[in-house]
Amino acid sequence: MNLQQEKWWVDAQSDDNAIILDVRTPEEFERGVIPKAINIDIYKGQGFIYMLEELDKSKSYYVYCHAGSRSAKACQVMQQLGFEKTYNLSGGISEWDGPVVEPN
């Protein structure tokens, strides 16, 4: 499901089961992230699938990339793997007005 940034952020903050997932490359991730994001690079191909399989499918995943297309694809892949709650950030971090922090 695609969400506009305000709803995406408000929902992520109010959801006790929320995981914020950044699917950009590690280099992009190092430039700044939405707080509490974890990074799994969608360009890793099968490695991306393996890493997704280790995640808790009962959680809610708020997914973003640079512009929104990789994260939309990631949400589709996650749904095929059995994740029921995936939310794509429309416009990605490039249009993000919310907080951005250095990765931990």
Residues 81-93: pLDDT tens digits? 999 999 999 999 9
Checking 50-55 for CB contacts under 8 A at 24+ apart, the result is 52/77, 52/78, 52/81, 52/83, 53/81, 55/19, 55/83
Distance CA 21, CA 97 (A): 17
- pTM (predicted TM-score): 0.96
Average pLDDT over all residues of the chain: 97
pLDDT at position 104: 75
Domains defined for the chain, CATH in brackets: 2-95 (3.40.250.10)
